[in-house]
Structure 1
Amino acid sequence: MKQALKLLLLATFALLTGCNNSSVKPIDEEKGFDYGRIRNEKYSNTFFNLEMNVPKNWHPQNKEEIKELTNEGRKIVAGGNENTEARIKASEINTASLLVVFKYDEEDDVMDYNANFMLVAENIKNATAIKTGKQYLNHAQKLIMGSALAITEIDKEFEKRTINGIDFYQMNMTVDIEGVPVYQTYLVTVENNFALSLIYSYLNEEQKNEIEEKAINTIKHKK
């Protein structure tokens, strides 16, 4: 199941290289920047004024676990191409994985795919051509298609999807993992010079519906 765990990071880091702004300050040095916190099964973030549910008994990753996944994902998505790996690494200064959650713990003895979701922020202050999630996904799609992922399907057009008053643009894709199709959905919104991406991975409609009902569809701005 470790390969499945890595899948999230594979596509994610292809996405995050969409707007490499090396001239902006590191994202965590932005005034008031907040990675957020989880309390009472709810994630909240003061910097982005957001909150969303974290399903009971699911497993949020800590900073060290996210760092390990980041390092693994960078190498795998680059597929041995040193220039690509260097570009991905350079982009990391502008991005922050705010929340990474798996349904099962890595030590759990389960046969099911480890469904997962994450919330990622990217500073796009210098990417003046990107004003919407749709424009962001246009850039990201090109980089994803040029990655080492075995993509079998990917949306060419991006639908607008509004969740609790927040306007996202959505992209779906299918990746072949050792002969098994694994599905991913990307939801991207742009606010205050940041791209916020919700990314979730699943094996079937049942898993997709569970993630959306228990987590994705609960995201909202705090009052």
Structure 2
Amino acid sequence: MNKSILVIILAALVSFGCTESDSDSPITINTSGNTYVNGFFGLEVEKPADWYAQSAEETILLQQQGNKVLSGDDKNMQKLIEAAMESSLPLFGFFEYPPGTPGKMNPNVLSVAENIKLYPGIKEPCDYVEAVKQVLQQGQLKYEFDGECQSSTIGGKPAGYMDASLHVGTFDIAQRYHAMITDGYAISFIQTYTDEASRSKVDKVMDSIQFTR
């Protein structure tokens, strides 16, 4: 499993997002109002009206640190997107507050697609969720997991999820890891929250997800 997924998961505690591009692009776009669409995966999701979304291109650049690529060059950005499609690509990420807001633990939902064509052992959503669990257990943060992966649906499609928690600074943080398998990719959705009020907010984002194909 590509361990860059760990970087993206940890980014849930800091920053993530989406932006505009062509409608059939793997980059998620804001089509109207607070509706965000990813044409490649047929994904639609609603951003809470007063929440924050960060540039997906910027996130890709952060993932590709060390590459000598100029962010202002469209051809180079396209190469970055193509490279991300071979590993892991950010789809969307919504935060209640702009990342870095002092004194705020930021409830958020982020999504990433990981190419799993080279991982024949990952056939079902829970296979991927268990793989994510193994990666997290190898990290320095002390995650606690609540049981095994459970079957579910997202936008009417088969999915799996697992709950985890950890203590960061003065905050007790809960995360729910969802995954679904489609067209050689695992699409994961990560909810981060601290209490029932913030859980309700991130649940509304998940409930808004629809698939057009």
Return the TM-score normalized by structure 1: 0.71
For 1:222 and 1:58, locate their aligned partners in 2 and report how far apart those are by CA, in whole Å: 24
Percent identity over the alignment is 24
Question: Is 1:45–2:35 an aligned residue pair?
Answer: no
What is the Cα deviation at residue 51 of structure 1? 0.4
1:16 offset after TM fit, Å? 6.6
Match of 1:212 among 180, 189, 203: 203
Alignment of 1:100-139 (within 5 A): 100-106=93-99, 108=101, 111-139=103-131
Cα distance in 1, alignment partners of residues 183 and 64 from structure 2:
28
Return closer, same or farther for 1:64/1:196 CA change in 2, 3 Å cut-off.
closer
Cα distance change on mapping 1:52 and 1:91 into 2, 3 Å: closer
Given that residues 56 and 91 in structure 2 are in contact (C-alpha distance below 8 angstroms), is that contact kept between their aligned partners in structure 1? no
Alignment partner of 1:181 is 2:169: no
Structure in which a larger fraction of residues adopt helix: 1
Partner amino acid, structure 1, of 2:198: Q
Q: Is the 8 A contact 1:35 1:98 kept in 2?
A: yes
1:165 and 2:156 are equivalent in the alignment: yes
- Letter matched to residue 62 of structure 1: S
Between stretches 38-47 and 100-109, larger displacement belongs to: 100-109
Q: Match of 2:5?
A: 13
* Structure 2 residue runs without a partner (length 5+): 10-23, 66-82
Structure 1 position 173, deviation (Å)? 0.5
The answer for the alignment partner of 1:77 in structure 2 is none
1:154 aligns with 2:145: yes
SS of corresponding position for 1:155? strand
Number of aligned residues:
179
CA distance in 1 between counterparts of 2:27 and 2:184 reads 16
Deviations 1:142-170 (A, max 9, x none): 1111101122x213411111133111100
Unaligned runs of 5+ in 1: 1-10, 18-31, 73-89
SS of 1:66's partner is helix
1:98-157 CA distances to partner (integer Å, 9 max, x unpaired)? 112211124656x44211111100111121111111011122211111101122x21341
| Match in the other structure for 2:53 | 60
SS in 2 for 1:159: strand
The answer for the alignment partner of 2:183 in structure 1 is 192
* Match status 1:140 vs 2:137: no
Shift in CA distance, 175/162, structure 1 to aligned 2, threshold 3 Å: same
Cα distance in 2 for residues equivalent to 1:15 and 1:168: 22
2:148 aligned counterpart, secondary structure:
coil
For 2:8 and 2:128, the matched residues in 1 are separated by 10
How far apart are residue 12 of structure 1 and its match? 8.0
Offset from partner CA, 1:70-106 (integer Å, 9 cap, x none) = 489xxxxxxxxxxxxxxxxx99950011112211124
Shift of residue 15 of structure 1? 7.7
Question: Does 1:221 find its partner at 2:198?
Answer: no
Contact conserved, 1:150 with 1:177, CA < 8 A, in 2? no
8 A contact 2:27–2:56 mirrored in 1: no
**Matched letter for residue 220 of structure 1:** Q
